[in-house]
């Protein structure tokens, strides 16, 4: 019997709804496989602000740090926009990533064939797309100092700093090359080296790391061109390596290749000192919250990633993945991926279907 402690942060908006579907799946896996899950539900994000006055309370932090994995649904609501930055849900998320030293954010862009028609892009362009965005997650503009809004030369001036040390670039580049080794052996590193000094260092360090990975093809691409190439010819990408802010933007863009941002899971991993975080890349979608409309598949696929990366259990990952494929093949769609001729299902119906189609 494998016992795993999971901290579940269902957060805000559609978070609680998609979390219920993840829990359903975990309960089933527990019954069918040799697992025992200790699921600790903790307040995080807006709900934590409501209940404790801060987005990432100490109790939540302790639970996360002593778990085998952290499962996070979504956080945020316009309701908190007027709070000072350090009290907002998003600050809690950045703190979680930093506290758990989760510097490598893996965002696989997986294309399910039955959804080829759901994308706004042409099928011929999309077919065969299979890429992994590897986004640096604890550095760059999100964390660099100095930052702030100050009065300078008589007027308000806002500033952030895109800062990377050599070691930060080196460790994320290594992850990218290691992952590429298990894929199609190609890394495209994204930067803005024609303008930014920090990007020049990024490029230099990635080149130096690549010397230890002679079997992996390395290319560099400027971020503006990368934004274009993702839409023009997504098949050329295998591993897309990039810094925090560029990765935030490019991964939302890449998600649309799959038809909906509601399909994309992610894993945020560190050096193993602390557990990894698994979360859908979508937000809390307050406009559709509590309507049983949200797509739970990104959350469910995040659970799958947890088995693969934290529990070293590729089999359960594949079982979940196959079930999701089956449910899509049989024409079931939540609203975000719905099309004429398919069957519209609710959040909880979609979760039930994934459970029913799980073949152990
Ligand atoms: C993401 C989100 C977050 C980010 C926000 C909510 C802070 O957009 O995970 O991509 O910018 O990293
Ligand atoms: Mg984002």
> What is the model's pTM?
0.96
pLDDT band at 241 (very low <50, low <70, confident <90, very high): very high
- Domain 1-103+264-360 is of which CATH architecture? 3-Layer(aba) Sandwich (3.40)
CA of 293 to the centre of ligand 2 (A): 21
How far are the Cα atoms of 145, 196, 205, 248 from residue 245, in angstroms, in the given order?
Answer: 15, 14, 18, 5
Taking residues 285-291, report their average pLDDT: 97
Closest listed ligand to the CA of 283? 1
Residue 97 CA, closest ligand 1 atom number: 12
Exposure pattern of 59-89 as b/e (b: 16+ CB <10 Å)?
ebbebbeebbbbbbbbbbbeebeeeeeeebb
What are the tens digits of pLDDT across the range 145-175?
Answer: 999 999 999 999 999 999 999 999 999 999 9
Q: Which of 69, 159, 110, 105 is nearest to 264 (CA)?
A: 110
So what's the pLDDT on residue 1? 87
pLDDT higher than threshold 80 for residue 360? no
pLDDT band at 118 (very low <50, low <70, confident <90, very high): confident
Q: Where in the chain is the domain with CATH 3.40.718.10?
A: 1-103+264-360, 119-258
Ordered alpha helix ranges (H), the chain: 15-32, 46-52, 58-65, 89-99, 123-126, 166-181, 197-210, 223-232, 244-255, 297-309, 314-329, 347-356
43 lines ligand 1 (CB under 6 A): no
| Percentage of the chain lying above the pLDDT 70 cut | 100
Q: Which of 175, 129, 131, 108 is nearest to 317 (CA)?
A: 108
So what's the pLDDT on residue 281? 92
So what's the pLDDT on residue 275? 98
Taking residues 242-265, report their average pLDDT: 94
pLDDT higher than threshold 90 for residue 134? yes
pLDDT band at 23 (very low <50, low <70, confident <90, very high): very high
Instruction: List, in order, residues 6 or more apart from 321 with CB less than 8 Å away.
Output: 301, 304
CA of 360 to the centre of ligand 2 (A): 34
What would the DSSP string read from start to end of 236-278?
G-SEEEE-HHHHHHHHHHHHGGGT-GGG---EEE-SSSS-EEE
What are the tens digits of pLDDT across the range 52-92?
Answer: 999 999 999 999 999 999 999 999 999 999 999 999 999 99
d(CA 62, CA 245) in angstroms, rounded, equals 28
Q: Which of 152, 191, 194 is nearest to 172 (CA)?
A: 191
Q: What is the DSSP letter of 198?
A: H
68 lines ligand 1 (CB under 6 A): no
130 lines ligand 1 (CB under 6 A): no
d(CA 11, CA 41) in angstroms, rounded, equals 10
Q: Which two tokens stand for residue 127?
A: 């077919």
d(CA 116, CA 301) in angstroms, rounded, equals 18
pLDDT band at 236 (very low <50, low <70, confident <90, very high): very high
Q: Which of 229, 233, 265, 236 is nearest to 250 (CA)?
A: 229
**Backbone angles phi and psi of 38, in degrees to 5:** -105, 100
Residue closest via CA to ligand 1's atom 10 equals 248
On whether the CB atoms of residues 4 and 69 are closer than 8 A, the answer is yes
Q: Would the CA dihedral through 41, 45, 51, 57 be positive or negative?
A: positive
pLDDT band at 117 (very low <50, low <70, confident <90, very high): confident
What are the tens digits of pLDDT across the range 189-216?
Answer: 999 999 999 999 999 999 999 999 999 9
Average of per-residue pLDDT values in the chain: 97
Taking residues 315-323, report their average pLDDT: 97
So what's the pLDDT on residue 151? 98
Exposure pattern of 94-115 as b/e (b: 16+ CB <10 Å)?
bebbeebbbbbbbbbbbbbebb
* Size of the chain in residues: 360
Q: Which residues are catalytic?
A: 142, 192, 224, 248, 252
Taking residues 127-154, report their average pLDDT: 97
Yes or no: domain 119-258 corresponds to CATH 3.40.50.2300: no
SS3 call for 350:
helix
What are the tens digits of pLDDT across the range 27-51?
Answer: 999 998 889 999 999 999 999 999 9
So what's the pLDDT on residue 195? 98
pLDDT higher than threshold 80 for residue 223? yes
Closest listed ligand to the CA of 45? 1
């Amino acid at each position: 019997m494998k016992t795993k402690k999971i901290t579940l942060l269902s957060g805000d908006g559609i978070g609680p709804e998609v979390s219920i579907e993840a829990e359903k799946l975990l309960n089933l896996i527990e019954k069918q496989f040799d697992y025992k899950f200790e699921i600790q539900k903790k307040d995080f994000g807006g709900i934590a602000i409501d209940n404790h006055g801060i987005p990432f309370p100490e109790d939540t932090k302790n639970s996360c740090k002593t778990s085998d994995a952290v499962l996070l649904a979504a956080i945020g609501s316009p309701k908190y926009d007027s709070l000072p930055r350090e009290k907002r849900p998003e600050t809690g998320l950045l703190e979680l990533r930093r506290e758990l030293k989760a510097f490598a954010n893996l965002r696989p862009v997986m294309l399910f064939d039955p959804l080829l028609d759901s994308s706004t892009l042409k099928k011929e362009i999309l077919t065969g797309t299979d890429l992994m965005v590897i986004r640096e997650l604890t550095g760059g503009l999100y964390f660099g100092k100095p930052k702030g809004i100050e009065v300078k030369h008589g007027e308000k001036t806002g500033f952030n700093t895109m800062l990377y040390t050599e070691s930060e670039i080196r460790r994320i580049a290594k992850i990218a090359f290691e992952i590429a080794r298990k894929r199609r052996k190609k890394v495209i590193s994204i930067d803005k080296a024609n303008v930014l000094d920090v990007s020049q260092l990024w490029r230099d360090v990635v080149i130096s790391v690549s010397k230890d990975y002679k079997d992996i093809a390395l290319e560099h691409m400027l971020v503006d061109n990368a934004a274009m190439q993702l839409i023009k010819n997504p098949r050329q990408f295998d591993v897309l390596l990039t810094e925090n802010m560029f990765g935030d933007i490019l991964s939302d863009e890449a998600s649309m290749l799959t038809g909906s941002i509601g399909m994309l899971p992610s894993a945020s991993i560190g050096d193993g000192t602390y557990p990894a975080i698994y979360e859908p890349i979508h937000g809390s979608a307050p406009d559709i919250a509590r309507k049983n409309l949200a797509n739970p598949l990104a959350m469910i696929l995040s659970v799958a990633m947890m088995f693969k990366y934290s529990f070293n259990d590729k089999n359960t990952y594949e079982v979940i993945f196959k079930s999701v494929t089956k449910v899509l093949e049989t024409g079931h769609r939540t609203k975000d991926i719905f099309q004429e001729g398919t069957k519209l299902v609710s959040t909880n119906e979609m979760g039930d279907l994934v459970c029913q189609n799980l073949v152990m």
